[in-house]
Amino acid sequence: MQANGLTEADILNVDQSLTIPAPEAGAIGPSFKIIPDSESVNGPAATTFNMEAFVQGIGGYLATYTEDVDDETITGIQIVQRIATNYSVNPRLLLALLDYRSEWVSDPFPAEVDYPMGMKDPNYAGLYRQLAWTANELNRGYYLWRANAVSSWVLGDGSVVPVVPTINAGTAGLQHFLAKLNDRATWEKDTSAFGLFQKYYFMFGNPFDRAIEPLIPAGIAQPRMQLPFENGVAWAFTGGPHGGWDAGSAWGALDFGPLGTAGCTPSLDWVVAVADGRIIRASNGAVIQDLDNDGYEQTGWTVLYMHVDSHERVESGTYLFAGELVGHASCEGGISNATHLHLARKYNGEWIAADGTLPFILDGWVSSGNGNEYDGFLTRGSQTIEAWDGVNDLNQITR
């Protein structure tokens, strides 16, 4: 049951050929660190940033821009905030990139209004789609580097540049994103001290002055969590580790499908809280639970319950103990091919992989993957359940 923003461009078809060019000899990438990890993700360093005051104070095109998104007219500032929140990308970084690419923040009359981030595809026209694509690609580079799963960048001119191993995840995200748009010479400038870094410095000061390092402390452990459904009610384990939000983020999510529900009909069974904590957001299918109860989605452990139907959904501000009712699984929010619950974790704004060093542990069931998105296992003692798309006798699990 796939979800959260996959497009046809993200999917390889059977018998499709994939050509990967060879790296250029001696063409190792730049080692300049553009931004710390804590300024890349929507984490603790972003909690005090008043984006509306900042943008309105400059008075550029973004300050007056509006767009229809999901049958609702919203402002450009709201679009940036929505993308920053959903993808967990720092809003300062999105603004700096937006102004670097098209001067939307600083210029009341920018030359480019349809494709402000430079992705000139009619399917990505408008600020919302441009920023969603940008945030997804920033995440892709960031989390590929985090997982030690990338060795080179493919540039817009087709050349391949090996990644220098001394950069950090935040810099990797920007190198990957800027590589999508540029030839080698332009990319070298964009990733230097006189490219995006300079724009960021002029807008917000030195990003390393706000660095929180390490963003994920050594020895951090997941809080105790339970399976997200009621005692004695069987659900199906339908998705192993996959993107927490869209295809570019860490494979931080697991999927569970209720039994006896066809298509996108909301389930009558209840999704329940996996841990104790306050609900700080509940809209558009997404419910966010703050486990450290400081009121910020950007700090400490948070849990995303996705595709929760609006009917009987828990309200923002409610404190839930583990096992109390969140709502009903559906297809609401994101993209889904059937009713299910998409469950993911973040710590300090970073998506935590379900197949990495901090596996998802629910009632003692430990998650793992096999290197293929959506494939994976839950293991407890001698028992193992494999994820299957749909419901069968082999993937059912009960508390």
Tell me the domain boundaries of the chain: 31-210, 235-397
Q: How confident is the model at residue 143 (pLDDT cuts 50, 70, 90)?
A: very high
Question: What's the whole-number average pLDDT of the chain?
Answer: 94
Per-position DSSP letters for 112-160, written without gaps between them:
--S-TTS---GGG-SHHHHHHHHHHHHHHHHHHHHTT---EEE-TTS-E
pLDDT over threshold 80, residue 6: no
pLDDT over threshold 60, residue 4: no
- Does domain 235-397 fall under CATH 2.70.70.10? My reply is yes
Q: Is 137 exposed, middle or buried (0-12, 13-18, 19+ CB in 10 A)?
A: buried
- By residue count, the chain amounts to 399
pLDDT over threshold 80, residue 316: yes
Place of tokens 């940036």: 80
Neighbours of 73 (CB within 10 A): 9
pLDDT over threshold 50, residue 145: yes
CB distance 240 to 377 below 8 Å = yes
Helix, strand, coil percent values for the chain (each to nearest 5): 25, 20, 55
Q: How confident is the model at residue 392 (pLDDT cuts 50, 70, 90)?
A: very high
pLDDT at 25: 47
CA-based nearest residue to 325, from 368, 358, 385, 279: 279
pLDDT at 18: 54
Q: How confident is the model at residue 334 (pLDDT cuts 50, 70, 90)?
A: confident
pLDDT, average across residues 270-291: 98
Q: Considering the chain, what percentage of its residues have pLDDT values greater than 70?
A: 93
CA distance 379 to 170: 33
Amino acid at 339: T
pLDDT at 21: 53
pLDDT over threshold 90, residue 127: yes
CA-based nearest residue to 286, from 264, 270, 309: 309
Cα-based torsion angle of the residue sequence 82, 84, 86, 88 in order, rounded to the nearest 10 degrees: -170
Q: Is 307 exposed, middle or buried (0-12, 13-18, 19+ CB in 10 A)?
A: buried
CA-based nearest residue to 234, from 369, 393, 370, 347: 393
**Per-residue exposure over 256-281, b if at least 16 CB sit within 10 Å of its own CB, e if not:** bbbeebeeebbbebbbbbbbbbbbbb
pLDDT at 337: 87
pLDDT over threshold 60, residue 149: yes
pLDDT over threshold 90, residue 14: no
Torsional class of 173: left (φ above 0), alpha (ψ -120 to 50), beta (otherwise): alpha
CB distance 383 to 376 below 8 Å = no
pLDDT, average across residues 374-383: 98
pLDDT over threshold 90, residue 11: no
Q: Is the peptide bond before 214 cis (omega within 30 degrees of 0)?
A: yes
CA-based nearest residue to 59, from 108, 92, 18: 108
Beta partners for residue 272, in sequence order: 325
CB distance 248 to 4 below 8 Å = no
pLDDT, average across residues 334-352: 95
Q: How confident is the model at residue 83 (pLDDT cuts 50, 70, 90)?
A: very high
Angle among Cα 40, 90, 56 to the nearest 5 degrees reads 140
Angle among Cα 256, 296, 249 to the nearest 5 degrees reads 45
pLDDT, average across residues 209-226: 96
